[in-house]
Amino acid sequence: MTDIPQPRKSPRQLRSQHTVDTILQATARVLATHGYAGTNTNLIAETAGVSVGSLYQYFPNKNALIAALHQRHDNQMLDVIDGVLNSNPAATLTERVAAIVQAMLHAHLLEPALHRVLEREFPLFDTPREHSLADQDIHRRMRHLLELHRAEIAQQDRDLATYVVLRIMESLVHAAALEPPAGFSTERLEQAVVDAVMGYLATPGGAVPRKRASAPKAGKPATRRKTAG
Amino acid sequence: MTDIPQPRKSPRQLRSQHTVDTILQATARVLATHGYAGTNTNLIAETAGVSVGSLYQYFPNKNALIAALHQRHDNQMLDVIDGVLNSNPAATLTERVAAIVQAMLHAHLLEPALHRVLEREFPLFDTPREHSLADQDIHRRMRHLLELHRAEIAQQDRDLATYVVLRIMESLVHAAALEPPAGFSTERLEQAVVDAVMGYLATPGGAVPRKRASAPKAGKPATRRKTAG
Amino acid sequence: MTDIPQPRKSPRQLRSQHTVDTILQATARVLATHGYAGTNTNLIAETAGVSVGSLYQYFPNKNALIAALHQRHDNQMLDVIDGVLNSNPAATLTERVAAIVQAMLHAHLLEPALHRVLEREFPLFDTPREHSLADQDIHRRMRHLLELHRAEIAQQDRDLATYVVLRIMESLVHAAALEPPAGFSTERLEQAVVDAVMGYLATPGGAVPRKRASAPKAGKPATRRKTAG
Amino acid sequence: MTDIPQPRKSPRQLRSQHTVDTILQATARVLATHGYAGTNTNLIAETAGVSVGSLYQYFPNKNALIAALHQRHDNQMLDVIDGVLNSNPAATLTERVAAIVQAMLHAHLLEPALHRVLEREFPLFDTPREHSLADQDIHRRMRHLLELHRAEIAQQDRDLATYVVLRIMESLVHAAALEPPAGFSTERLEQAVVDAVMGYLATPGGAVPRKRASAPKAGKPATRRKTAG
DNA sequence: TATGAATGAGCGTTCATTCAT
DNA sequence: GATGAATGAACGCTCATTCAT
């Protein structure tokens, strides 16, 4: 539980790097096909065509394998955001958010079973979501994106907004990709994620009087101004 | 994995009912303090001051204990929504959403460690999110709420909206209560959840041209009409 | 393992006797339908419509139940033999053996599953087949039968013969009733048991020179005289 | 109950083979000394001087251990018959049967306690006596033996005769070796087994009128013709 | 370095038996 | 007597990890 999930040794040789990759692939496959409960290091090693001993040469323990997979996933997400940031400089925020959501969804749809497991099994869950480096990078990139489009955003606190947007994206993309509710196409769900993100950003925020407010007049929806000229 | 998490026998005598409660309390405590990996039935029984045999008299297996805890939690959430629905008939949607969010947050803050574990460990996760009865009720209630306030909502598909709103609430409330980002007060996080929900509902949706549409001109934000009047 | 399998108290009252019978019936049924591994006292009690406590009022432990069932079976066999002995005074040995075999077979065919289990599970197997009273009675009756027909028997030692005949009957009747080889009708198997018993009895016995005998001439079958004029 | 009792992996290395042997020896010893009820995998492993893990590396479950012991025993019996078949071509059927009986008895007398347990505990007893390969071989060999000596046999159906002979041998050898009745020497019991087998084979069979035949006149023994010229 | 046989603590679960009611 | 909730020792089995080869 309190293990350091770092690769035991950084593979300097090519062969080692290849072995590490193979093991990780095997871990993903076993996790996806057998679920967490059915996953064990011996099976992973066997699937990878490697001996258990070798596995432990590169990963100090089972948790490290899962942590590495999380790492990998975080990096993929990071790449997704980076890709969007670095292309089409003229795009609107909505377009960019849509592009990110679409790419995320796509990534999750490649191995839904694996992601279903990864979503639940976070080996170091004692430590309060000790953000991985990639995780911090993701935050930074997203914050940068919001900064770029600050004119299109009603939310004032961009740091908080970054956090909220990432949470919304994560949960809704997971929902859409991994446990899609019956009756809705992936396209509509995808659109819903974008709606949720953009809707939040378009909201000034903090407008609701907390507790004990004299009951507002009527059913008028939250008033909203266009966020940009 | 494919177990039926139904109590083995419904306790008829008072003594039995008490035993069941005690066991569930103990499960929550052990889960919260030891995490899922550190939780085992013998420890639960010991903590409950009960023999393992008694535990298995009422719960067919370990998973059933967790499932029961989920059930309990779902029912709490259901009560929260019901409570809001049944009070203050003149309230706006925003106020009601705010009330629900606040109550949810409050509920999660009572036993954050337990909820942290419950969030990840869903013993029946093979079954494609086979919504518990309470879960379905929650959906129904929320849909009813949106129906009541349909005039304040821009999203057309109220079924989809219900799903999205519940997902957003769940993920952001969890985030706010169980792994709050440093630097933000609970109040602000709470407000952010409301913003996200209301922002989404206020968005007409579907406005984004999908793939390969003639690239939009410029950085115009997602257009948005006032949802009502 | 070293338990005394005697009923804890002899049921003097009618109600008690009935309870005991019910429990024994239930034991038989559970044993037959669930096999030994699937049989447990709680299930037996439930099947009998009686509480476990009551069960233990009449049987000191699980083994006692099985022992009682064996007892019951032994008594049935005893009755079978008695019945044959007490009828048709003019019958030949062959006819009587045939009648016994037939009755035994019939008895086993009523509850083959039960007998299959009973055959294997003899609770006191440590004690070297401590013959039950009924068992001893059976031996006595069979010896008496052979005595009556001594003129038709070639085997000299009637005590040994009794033992052998009972063993043959038991094993072949079990085989015929409980695991009949494919391709043979019950009738033929039944006949085979009679053949085996009568064949043995018709053999003078001890005719084979032990080890180192000067090799006999040829393939002549074991010569045999008619056993009786 | 419905387990496949195949070794989990066939040990390729010498060390492995040795481990397997040791485990089987230990199983036999524990079974013989503690009985089936007193036998458990941890004890077996301990007795073998091996860890439970190792035991389960080669045997999928407890039953597989017993099944392997049965296998071993079946093979021994097979060897016994083969040995007799391949020696002394001039021997009569009686001599050969005597030799087989003697060898079987001898084999059982080496580890009577073990065989006592094995006789009762046949882990695969659900499967309708799915004869092991060795078991089938035994049948084939015995049938071949009867074929060779068909001139010395009165029973017409040699397939049925094979079955009956094997059952008789098995039950009487067990009786003689494992629970010898007081008062008889092993030699006499051995002779009795031979008598039973040869007596059965010398009987034409089927001579008994079935049910309700006009009652035969008197105590004439089962008539019997000489089986061969 | 790689292998894979071996380890053994530990877990989920059962069930014969007891005893307060 | 009868009940059935409670007990808890014990067992089958797993699997992360080690280490001799």
User: Rounded to a whole number, what is the distance in Å from the CA of B29 to chain A's nearest CA?
Assistant: 15
- Band (A217; pLDDT cuts 50, 70, 90): very low
Q: How far apart are the first and last CA of chain B?
A: 52
Specify which residue's alpha carbon is closest to the C1' of nucleotide E2: A54
Q: Which residues of D touch C163 (CB under 8 A)?
A: 175, 181, 184
Which strand (E) or helix (H) includes residue C220?
none
Which tokens is D107 given? 């084999």
Rounded to 5 degrees, φ, ψ at B43 are -65, -40
Question: Residue A229's pLDDT is what?
Answer: 32
- Whether residue D215 and residue C88 make contact (CB cut-off 8 A), yes or no, is yes
Predicted confidence at residue D123, as pLDDT, reads 67
A47 Cβ within 7 A of any nucleic strand E atom = no
Q: What value does the mean pLDDT take over residues D38-44?
A: 95
d(CA A136, CA A125): 17
Helices (H), A180-224: 186-202
D23 and D80 Cβ atoms separated by less than 8 Å = no
Contacts of C213 (CB under 8 A, 6+ apart): D95
- Residue at A103: amino acid letter: A
Length of chain C, in residues:
229
As a whole number, the mean pLDDT across chain B is: 84
**Residue D170 · residue D101 · CB < 8 Å:** no
- Of residues A105 and A1, more confidence is placed in A105
pLDDT band per the 50, 70, 90 thresholds, residue B4: very low
pLDDT in tens, D144-190: 999 999 999 999 999 999 999 999 999 999 999 998 998 999 999 99
Dihedrals φ, ψ of B121, to 5°?
A: -95, 100
C175 contacts on D by Cβ (under 8 Å)? 163, 167
- A40 CA, F14 C1': Å apart: 10
- Name the residue closest to the C1' of F19 by its CA: A53
DSSP string, A103-160: HHHHHHHHSHHHHHHHHH--TTTTSTT---HHHHHHHHHHHHHHHHTGGG---S-HHH
Distances (CA, A) of A207 to A111, B151, B155, B188, D155: 41, 19, 20, 12, 103
CB contact under 8 A, C120 and D116: no
DSSP D151: G
Question: Which chain A positions have a beta carbon within 8 Å of B35's beta carbon?
Answer: 1, 125-126
Cα separation of A191 and B202, whole Å? 14
Alpha helices for chain B (secondary structure H): 14-34, 41-48, 52-58, 62-85, 93-110, 112-120, 133-148, 158-178, 186-202
pLDDT above 60 for B214: no
Q: Which residues of chain B (51-90) touch nucleic strand E at CB < 7 A?
A: 52-53, 56, 60-62
Q: Give which of A167, A187, A210, A214 to mutate to test B binding, by max B Cβ within 10 Å.
A: A167
CA→C1' distance for A1 and F13 (Å) = 23
Neighbours of chain C (3+ CB pairs under 8 A): D
With an 8 Å CB cutoff and a minimum of 3 pairs, decide whether chains C and A touch: no
Q: Is the pLDDT at D20 greater than 60, yes or no?
A: yes
**C145, C96 contact by CB (below 8 A):** yes
Specify the 3-state DSSP secondary structure of B60.
Answer: coil
Q: Give the model's pLDDT for residue C222.
A: 42
Give residue D37's pLDDT. Answer: 86
Residue C28 near residue C114, CB atoms below 8 Å: yes
**Chains in contact with B via at least 3 Cβ–Cβ pairs below 8 Å:** A
Q: Check if the beta carbon of residue B121 is closer than 8 Å to that of residue B61.
A: no
User: Between the CA of B124 and the C1' of F12, what is the distance in angstroms?
Assistant: 25
Is the sign of the CA dihedral A92, A95, A101, A103 positive or negative?
A: negative
Sign (positive or negative) of CA dihedral A53, A58, A59, A65: negative
CA dihedral C175, C180, C184, C187 (to 10 degrees): 60
Q: Which residue of D has its CA nearest to C209?
A: D95
Name the pTM for this structure. 0.84
Q: Which residues, other chains included, contact A211 with Cβ-Cβ below 8 Å and sequence gap of 6+?
A: none
Burial of C60 per CB tally in 10 Å (0-12, 13-18, 19+): middle
Contact C215 D91 (CB under 8 A): yes
Segment among A116-120, B34-38, B92-96, D224-228 with least mean pLDDT:
D224-228
Predicted local confidence at residue D133, as pLDDT: 84
CA distance C202 to A125: 82
Closest CA of chain C from D11, distance in Å: 31
- Binned at pLDDT 50, 70 and 90, residue A134 comes out as confident
Cα A8 to Cα A16, A40, A55, A58: the distances in Å are 12, 19, 10, 5
Would you state the pLDDT for residue D36?
87
Residues 32-71 of C with CB under 7 A from strand E: 37-42, 52-53, 56, 61-62
Q: Per-domain residue ranges for chain A?
A: 14-201
Residues of chain C with pLDDT under 70: 1-12, 123-131, 206-229
> Is the Cβ pair C205, D191 closer than 8 Å?
yes
Interatomic CA distance for residues D120 and D143, integer angstroms: 26
CA distance C30 to chain D (A): 15
Could you give the CA distance from residue C181 to residue A71 in angstroms, rounded to a whole number? 63
In the structure, how far is the CA atom of residue D44 from the C1' atom of nucleotide E12, in angstroms? 21
Angle at B218 between CA B215 and CA B219, to 5 degrees: 120
Q: Any contact of B with C, at least 3 CB pairs below 8 A?
A: no
Residue B9 approaches strand E within 7 Å at CB: no
- Picking from C164, C166, C188, C226 by the largest number of D CB atoms within 10 A of its own CB, the best residue to mutate is C164
CB A195 within 8 A of CB B160: no
> Which tokens is A186 given?
């992936």
Least confident of A116-125, A205-214, C25-34, C73-82: A205-214
Residues in chain D, how many?
229
What is the token pair recorded at C31?
């044993």
pLDDT band at D7 (very low <50, low <70, confident <90, very high): low
Given the structure tokens 């407000």, which residue do they identify?
B191
For chain D, give the mean pLDDT.
84
Pairwise CA distance, residues C72 & D14, whole Å: 53
Which amino acid does the sequence have at D26? A
Mean pLDDT of chain A: 84
Per the structure block, which two tokens stand in for B53? 């045999």
Tell if the CB–CB gap between C163 and D152 is shorter than 8 Å. Answer: no
Q: How far is C40 from chain D (nearest CA, A)?
A: 14
Q: Under CATH, what is the fold of the domain C14-201?
A: Tetracycline Repressor; domain 2 (1.10.357)
**The token pair that represents C167 in the structure block:** 């063993």
CA distances from C169 to A43, B180, C137, C191 (A): 53, 80, 16, 11
Q: Does the beta-carbon distance from D168 to C168 stay under 8 Å?
A: yes
Q: How many CA atoms lie within 13 A of C91 on its CB side?
A: 22
Q: Which residue of C has its CA nearest to D201?
A: C199
